[in-house]
A and B are shown apart, each in its own frame.
Chain A
């Protein structure tokens, strides 16, 4: 069967006609397969949702228990049949519960990566490359300028700065699902044992991560009684980036704003955002990882979606791999 008959872009998202389902639809549909819990991929209001157990739990936390008509948990590596289509979820290494989705029918296999990264992450299962006829890759950081340094170096910068500026509160902007927990875990791995303060928006997800066996150490809410600003001197405070530009951050003594994101590779991005200490930590693949993954899957054809499609398509052409952009709309890299 032709690949474009097995999966094709539609206004709602990627559609599989023989199975009559969508992958990560941006509008409510009858049957949805969800790769991971970020809000641009996992939206409420679908009839039936198939996703990993953890993604379903996260959707319930973020969208409410009744986020879908019915739900079904997909176990990683186990093949299900929907219509005549064989569907298998494989780990994507992006955030807790994230999966790639392989669909196979009439001898053609397509793997939709969702969002993925390749480096080790203590808070989720690592990506597995899956051989396929068509690999659908994300391209959030699909430009050769995006090359993420090792996490340890970046966290080392934070730890050093806390030592240099013990009178200031270090505010670390990190998205609420995935990045925040990973950053906290990495700080622990760097040998910081003390209390880490968190913004209220992180509390439930941090609790959930802990319930899944991910140790985050001593976390306290970053709330204060007026006048207790000095209590946060030398503290590390983790919260969603939007909160740091907000009046919320005024409770902290001379806050030093840090932002954990792959975008921090570009100095001008850091400068525009008023970030003093950029931490280049991403839950997406960098350029080298995107290109290496494409080669590993052995796919003779690559479809590129959300991000800088044109550069990755160009690279595939230079390698003699057929490639095209999918031009899906509605994905806004919340996760980085």
Chain B
């Protein structure tokens, strides 16, 4: 348990992806079964503990700690799990007598009944040390929040076994904690586990961004073009009575989209874009789609207001037949026939866009026929469907981003390599009646600039600090003094959480406008005009 607790503490404070990977690989490589597999399950969210509820914690701690002292502590720490782990009155386990293992903790928590749950939890908290107590509480309350996606955990497994991450994703949904067979294979002690379950995820094929210089080397006759829809990429798999909807990273999101899953009365695996609306009438915007995203489940009302459908790009499996080895044109023909047999209010075909030459396609890309299109996709007619992001067969060619001139307002120190640099920038645009304009923050960006530009901004921030709040500095920003940043972004959503009422998607610094006086930065109305 101690090693798992230490891992969580390190992960949450390690900002870099490579650093997290290293920590995970070392953990999986050094900890024995079944503890490492249970740690993996806890991180990927595949470990369920039902009999113990977070609400018990408060009651348990109230029996043990003076309420006044507890409240002083909670006020100071601000996090209930952490406060309880620290004030819990139990001695540290003597050295040489480690507390319970992760496997023991999980076994006792999972086998606890509703009535003896609190007693079991209290016993575990008594026998664990401070750090392990925190980890136990995190297991019980669910959601470790250590900044590790399931995808990253799978990458760590791939690194451990020198395998391709796609081959792990392909297996994943057929495996269960503590994954002993998986680790045995990764360590070369056993064969690759066989796919036994139905409706597994197929690792997704991704595209590279098209560079202008690529075009000269490509022949338009070799490629099909297709609109790039602004939803989320999904995979719908239905096999042997099992239906699953996966995100492009292989997370099972079926429960959030029961309306779509119900219509999956086919046998096969489809690749496409998840959108909302009625495909034959109107396709909803990304803002509409967001009503359905990041939810564990959905209310009937929201499902009716924002019905989900899938705009299909590809067919990977048809009945028993794996189509991934066929060229695009053949898969496309199969896809057209396949989709024709599905419920048209839930599935439609992503149309191909005919074009003569690159210039014509460029025009189409910049003036798409529908607002929910963010560019075009190019797919080589002979391309097979391969996992990952191979260079050459597929390209995305996006509509040019929106840009806005904004004024730097706050800068925050970065992490890791950037911990001595002010590298996270909050910027604002002008709002309010003429003569009384104020800057309102509209977004935050921490990339897009070169290392040299970072040094320049860092120096500017240090030389023009007005106030400091911990790691954040407020920078001089008024009509006459301030740094104008050209910010590029992909789209804009309405937001009730921001004072400005807008939230940018994928903002990044595209240019530093040292030449531009801040009074000439954009106004909020410019952004609001983009909302509809």
Contact = CB atoms under 8 A, between A and B. Distances in A.
B241 interface: no
A167 to B, nearest CB: 10
A106 interface: no
A246 interface: yes
Interface string A11-36: 00000000000000000000000000
A257 B417 CA distance: 10
A277 B470 CA distance: 18
A144 B95 CA distance: 22
A318 B72 CA distance: 15
B23 interface: yes
B392 interface: no
A79 interface: no
A224 B341 CA distance: 70
Given A144-B69, A165-B19, A245-B413, A149 B92 contact: yes
A157 B420 CA distance: 23
Interface string B447-487: 00000000000000000000000110000000000000000
Given A145-B83, A308-B76, A311-B72, A244 B23 contact: no
B144 interface: no
A144 B471 contact: no
B419 A164 contact: no
Residue among A146, A268, A276 with the highest chain B CB neighbour number at 10 A: A276
B419 A144 contact: no
Given A145-B83, A149-B130, A254-B417, A310 B13 contact: no
A85 B92 CA distance: 43
Nearest to B78: A268
Contacts of B83: 145
B72 to A, nearest CB: 5
Given A247-B420, A249-B419, A314 B72 contact: yes
Given A268-B77, A314-B72, A144 B87 contact: yes
A157 B471 contact: no
B9 interface: yes
Contacts of A247: 420
A198 B104 CA distance: 44
Interface string B62-88: 000110111011001111001100110
A201 B305 CA distance: 64
Nearest to B92: A149
Contacts of B68: 314
B13 A271 contact: yes
B86 A267 contact: no
A308 B470 contact: no
A192 interface: no
A6 to B, nearest CB: 30
A249 B420 contact: yes
Interface string A182-220: 000000000000000000000000000000000000000
A143 B76 contact: yes
B79 A268 contact: yes
B419 A266 contact: no
A321 to B, nearest CB: 15
A143 B72 contact: yes
Given A144-B87, A255-B419, A273-B471, A266 B82 contact: yes
B40 to A, nearest CB: 19
Interface string B270-303: 0000000000000000000000000000000000
A254 B22 CA distance: 15
Interface residues of B, number: 40
B12 interface: yes
A318 B66 contact: yes
A143 B73 contact: yes
A80 B418 CA distance: 55
A267 B420 contact: no
A315 B9 CA distance: 30
B15 A267 contact: no
Nearest to B458: A247
A248 B79 CA distance: 34
Interface in A235-254: 244-250, 254
A267 B130 contact: no
B14 interface: yes
A269 to B, nearest CB: 9
Contacts of A244: 419-420
A161 to B, nearest CB: 8
Nearest to A144: B87
Contacts of A143: 69, 72-73, 76
Contacts of B77: 145, 266, 268
Contacts of A274: 413-415, 419, 471
Contact of B22 (A164, A273, A278): A164
B26 interface: yes
B420 A276 contact: no
A147 B419 contact: no
Interface in B25-74: 26, 65-66, 68-70, 72-73
Contact of A157 (B6, B19, B82, B95): B6
Nearest to A145: B86
Contacts of A42: none
A25 to B, nearest CB: 29
Nearest to A315: B69
A248 B420 CA distance: 8
A150 B95 contact: yes
Contacts of B420: 244-250, 255
B10 interface: yes
A287 to B, nearest CB: 9
A267 B413 CA distance: 18
12 contacts: A145-B76, A145-B83, A145-B87, A245-B471, A254-B417, A267-B12, A276-B19, A310-B72, A311-B72, A314-B66, A315-B66, A318-B66
Interface of A: 143-147, 149-150, 157, 161, 164-165, 244-250, 254-257, 265-268, 270-278, 308, 310-311, 314-315, 318
Given A165-B19, A255-B417, A267-B79, 9 more contacts: A149-B92, A244-B419, A245-B420, A255-B419, A266-B82, A270-B13, A274-B419, A278-B9, A308-B76
